Amino acid sequence: MYPNLSSASLKYAIFGPNFYELKLLRIFLFFLFIIGISHAQTAQEEQIDTTESKQINIVYGANFTKDEAQFPGASIFSKDDRQVQFEHQGADLWCDIAIYYQKENRLRALGNVRLQQGDSIELTSGKINYDGETRLAKAFESVLLETEQQSGQMTLRTDTLYFDRERQESYYNSSGTIIDSTNTLTSEIGRYFMELNKYQFLDSVHIDNPQYILDSEQLDYYTTSKNAYMYGPSTITGETYKIYCERGFYDTKVESGYGIKNTRIDYNNRIIEGDSVYFDKATEFASATNNIVVTDTVNNGVIRAHYAEVFKAKDSVFATKRAVSISLVEQDSLYMHGDTLMVTGKPENRILRAFRNAKFYKTDLSGKCDSIHSAQRTGVTQLIKNPVIWNGENQMTGDSIHLISDLKTEKLDSLKVLNNAFIISLDSIS
């Protein structure tokens, strides 16, 4: 029919112009088939490798028995002169007796159990249940977890401990005790994040240190820095101070920190309260911000402000931002205000200073001036620069005015107006 056509021309004539496209498609599908088989084999090999890597390995089995009646499907290994040993993904386990369920990839280890992960984590207990699929170990009976850190060794003791090797976390909910190089910590519930070197404690948290005691409802503790973050009602009791807050931070090494919710510090003769309070034992310094109340427990005085600093060693207080001092005089409250208030000295030698725009008020007496200086030892209160005093319907001015109190009765005894004295009274007749 086509006597003079070549083979290629003949195929072109029979199959038309799509002949070469069909041939290329066939070759492409063939290569896809080969690649698919190769990928399937690789995936199957990877699955086999993964399954093998997940499997708990027997390192030393010693004595082998089976008891299908009591432990169906399990292989039982018991020690001879050497403990039974297993290995799983970087961890080794030793015990006296092991009940191993190979198909389920789990085991029960009994008697003098020790689980070692790397060089830094060792878990010992009376019993451990270990699941090779989830890498979760449950240890119970006299559990001891020991970890080596840069800051030293840390130990955890509890009755029951869960060790999640997948997440590198361990946790307990039946009371635990942690001891590191600095502190002894106890709580009802605890979780240890190994990669972060962090503990999270819940319920009846207690830290015991030779220098202080800390109690909290919830606390995060970093074992490297020894820093504690408190959540919920917390109390720190030191040798010379007591701190309460409902949220705060505490550096357990140097005894310093801050509270940011309902914070209160009790010193020897002062109580400091505020929304946010910072404290440092080494410098015996505290500062507070917002809604501050500093109470003098000896002289029954109170300072209110929005910022204050307390220097315990110097027995002094610096307050500013709407600062007001309130003290008891003649069974009446004496209010004193200034842009800045300073209280210095021991209780018997206490001095109160009010700077710039100073004012004072009590029921029968009030006044204003540039600054006020009041000395506890002498009983003299000086109104300095442009003083004005109002007493009932009387007004007094002068270069300086002194209010003098009786030291025994602490009642106002006399008043002195120095230089350029001027007194004016409202005429009752008019």
Backbone angles phi, psi at 29, to 5 degrees: -65, -35
Least confident range from 24-33, 62-71, 174-183, 371-380: namely 24-33
Residue 355's pLDDT is 86
Q: What is the mean pLDDT of residues 231-256?
A: 92
More confident residue, 332 or 430: 332
Nearest to 144 by CA among 118, 109, 116, 181: 116
Q: What is the mean pLDDT of residues 249-253?
A: 92
Model confidence at 410, in pLDDT bands (50, 70, 90)?
Answer: low
Least confident range from 19-28, 210-219, 265-274: namely 19-28
Q: What is the mean pLDDT of residues 232-252?
A: 92
Helix H segments across 318-411? none
Q: Is the pLDDT confidence value at 9 over 60?
A: no
Model confidence at 119, in pLDDT bands (50, 70, 90)?
Answer: confident
Rounded distance between C-alpha atoms, residue 200 and residue 216, angstroms? 12
- What pLDDT, in 10s, does the model give residues 13-66? 444 555 555 556 666 666 666 665 555 455 454 444 444 568 999 999 889 999
Three-state secondary structure of 311-335: ECCCCEEEEEEEEEEEEEECCEEEE
Backbone angles phi, psi at 387, to 5 degrees: -80, 145
Q: What is the mean pLDDT of residues 194-223?
A: 92
Model confidence at 155, in pLDDT bands (50, 70, 90)?
Answer: very high
Residue 36's pLDDT is 57
Least confident range from 72-81, 239-248, 367-376: namely 367-376
| Mean confidence (pLDDT) of the chain | 84
Contact 320, 304 (CB under 8 A): no
**Percent of the chain, pLDDT > 70?**
85
pTM of the model: 0.75
Q: What is the mean pLDDT of residues 284-309?
A: 87
